[in-house]
Structure 1
């Protein structure tokens, strides 16, 4: 089966694909991954993580971690998100992932339309890049699965919010739980948590 995703954007450079998970969530850290695939790599199963079942994502995560020349995951906490805003936090998570790569990339390709330059490396932003390039798809899978595992762990501590199901996203039941129980230490206080257009919760120090 031929892969509809392109192998590489930069054909003459070692490139790292980057993507994030969790930008739109009310709770939890934002995760990002960076992946460098071999020059001749072609995996027909790779795709945007949102198009894959949870079991297929986990299967591909193991394969990516085995096959990649280098991979890493970066994390930015809810408190950091509140301090700098989610867009900057997403870029920081990508930078933290890139910092950890054991192979230094010569270029970066990023899902989306904005990015903060990483050192002096050339970069290209690609809208819906996780459905166009294999390294970005691989990064989306790693970011998504590692973040989902993290939210499942938090759910065991705060089961009232249903994070195992909603992963921190603003579902109706999640917001109803916030109304009933208040916030956890992992909620993003700079967000409109109740969906009423304002920051209406009374935040006490943790």
Structure 2
């Protein structure tokens, strides 16, 4: 059985995470690997229900602690029902967002620390961490234009927060890449989509069977 691997894509709104997750899944699956493509929040029926609670409605719908707990609950369900079983079967799991998004987004206002968010992850998801995380890095002004040009749907509640918030989120992501260079790779998302995908594939060379 091929050893399962867990790959996550992270970044701010409009950086192309979903596009690259699909492209990576297609490329790796075409190379003979068994792939599970998923997303957060969501990925399982129960977690998708929580996704709708989190991402729809007004900004004031949840306070930051409730929001963090809901994300942790969705992730616990996702890990238990989908991610962990797929890894145990030897599959490669590619996930659009995971724990680093919670760390980057829920810690911005200072009410929750990184350690507290990781405590929720330890309790809910047994501290499962990706083998490799790609953070797609794009100037906030460029990312904002991309978001404005598409139908954001249920991402409005969080995606619609102000520019200062999103700049702080990306600063957190960049700091994570600086702190954990072996796991987390910062990727220039201003390049052509095909170039980005090729760079991601090359960065996975050390994990390939």
What TM-score does the superposition give when structure 2 sets the normalisation length? 0.32
Quick one: higher RCO (CA 8 Å, sep 6+), 1 or 2?
A: 2
What TM-score does the superposition give when structure 1 sets the normalisation length? 0.32
Q: Quick check: which has more Rg, 1 or 2?
A: 1
Q: Which has the higher helix share?
A: 2
